[in-house]
Amino acid sequence: MPSARTSRRTDDSRPSKTTRIAGKLECAAQAQLLAQKRIPLATKHNNVNGTVATTCKKISLPRTLPRPVLGEVDLSSLAYAHPSLSGVPAEYIREHLPSTTHDMRAACKAVQTSIPKSTLPKELEILMNDVVAAACPTHMLAVFNDAPLSFGQKRQVSLFPVHDLVLRVHCTNLPTLPLSQPSTSSSHATVPVIPLRLPSPETFPLLHAYLYTRDSASLLASLRPSCDADMVQLAMHASRIHGLWRNACALGVIDEQLYNVLQTLWSSTLGAMQACS
């Protein structure tokens, strides 16, 4: 079933193009400045006799993760896709949304589908069951990165069922989301496939879960390294934290708590790496 395309409307509450560009430039300038204030960390390895030696190789990491300067989400697009929310402040929706997303999260986890091996389709069918029908996802994100491929290598794409309300109310930098109201009256539902290029596809599941729940405790637990982690493990944790931060910046996620959690994790991980070096 073909998908209707979202018409463009103007809304005085949406930041102007000039404001958005200025905000991105400010964020880029801040990132460049902070990148110069980096912590050099020497790595360690175990000698044959069991002693620990410090190698000459060093890892240089920024002290802080700069926060993107963001405007508000596109309220006209949000109201067009969800007319019942017209006039409701996006901040209010974000604050109260987690209390209504239990069925949405369950539906996302229950979705069964497969991606064709040849080309990415514009639509996909998902198998309908009682759990999915209770809060059927509206779109399927096809997440990938733009890392260069070697000859004959295929691009890795991961599928994530989502509800457009969750994305529209949290993210200022979304690709165009066509209107989608999948029918739940048959054994299958057809949803649009949205290609989404992100810096760190492997950490998107963490961001996907957080946008539905805003559960900072779970996010902290999933990214906090163990007390006995070595330098290699700590570096892996730092990479995941940084990847999640890059995804949030790329999507323009509006959530002060998220950036607070990421900075807390980043600082504690850097501290552990310094103690280990």
Token readout for 128 is: 């309908």
pLDDT of residue 62: 85
CA torsion through residues 195, 200, 202, 203, sign: negative
pLDDT of residue 34: 42
Q: How confident is the model at residue 29 (pLDDT cuts 50, 70, 90)?
A: very low
Q: How far apart are CA 204 and CA 244, in angstroms?
A: 7
Helices (H), the chain: 17-35, 75-81, 90-96, 102-110, 130-134, 164-170, 204-213, 216-223, 231-251, 256-276
Where is the domain boundary, 168, 197, 226? 197
Cα atoms in the Cβ-side hemisphere of radius 13 Å centred on 258: 26
Residues 56 and 193 in one domain: no
The residues with which 144 forms a beta bridge, in sequence order, are 197
Q: Which amino acid is at 60?
A: S
Helix (H) or strand (E) holding 122: none
Residues 94 and 181 in one domain: yes
Hey, which of 152-156, 179-183, 211-215 has the most confident mean pLDDT? 211-215
Where is the domain boundary, 140, 168, 197? 197
**How many other CB atoms are there within 10 angstroms of residue 69's CB atom?**
17
Number of domains in the chain: 2
Residues 215 and 156 in one domain: no
Residues 183 and 247 in one domain: no
Residues 146 and 171 in one domain: yes
Q: What is the mean pLDDT of residues 215-226?
A: 91
Q: Model's pTM, two decimal places?
A: 0.78
Residues 80 and 155 in one domain: yes
Q: Is residue 276 part of a domain?
A: yes
Residues 191 and 204 in one domain: no
Q: How far apart are CA 134 and CA 113, in angstroms?
A: 17
Residues 159 and 255 in one domain: no
pLDDT at 17 over 50: no
pLDDT at 5 over 90: no
Residues 212 and 133 in one domain: no
Token readout for 185 is: 């009256």
Where is the domain boundary, 166, 197, 228? 197
Q: Is residue 36 part of a domain?
A: no
Question: Domain limits at 91?
Answer: 75-197
Which of these, 208, 197, 188, lies nearest to 124 by C-alpha position?
Answer: 188
pLDDT of residue 6: 35
Q: Is residue 6 part of a domain?
A: no
213 with 105: CB under 8 angstroms? Answer: yes
pLDDT at 20 over 60: no
pLDDT of residue 32: 44
Residues 137 and 113 in one domain: yes
pLDDT of residue 38: 56
Q: Is residue 260 part of a domain?
A: yes
pLDDT of residue 28: 44
Residues 54 and 152 in one domain: no
Average pLDDT over the chain, rounded to whole?
82
Only one residue has tokens 């006039």, namely 87
**How many other CB atoms are there within 10 angstroms of residue 134's CB atom?**
14
Q: How confident is the model at residue 242 (pLDDT cuts 50, 70, 90)?
A: very high
The residues with which 62 forms a beta bridge, in sequence order, are 38
Which of these, 208, 193, 216, lies nearest to 251 by C-alpha position?
Answer: 208
Q: Is residue 222 part of a domain?
A: yes
pLDDT at 178 over 60: yes
Residue that wins the pLDDT comparison between 176 and 31: 176
> What's 148's DSSP letter?
-
pLDDT of residue 36: 41
3-class DSSP state for residue 197? strand
3-class DSSP state for residue 243? helix
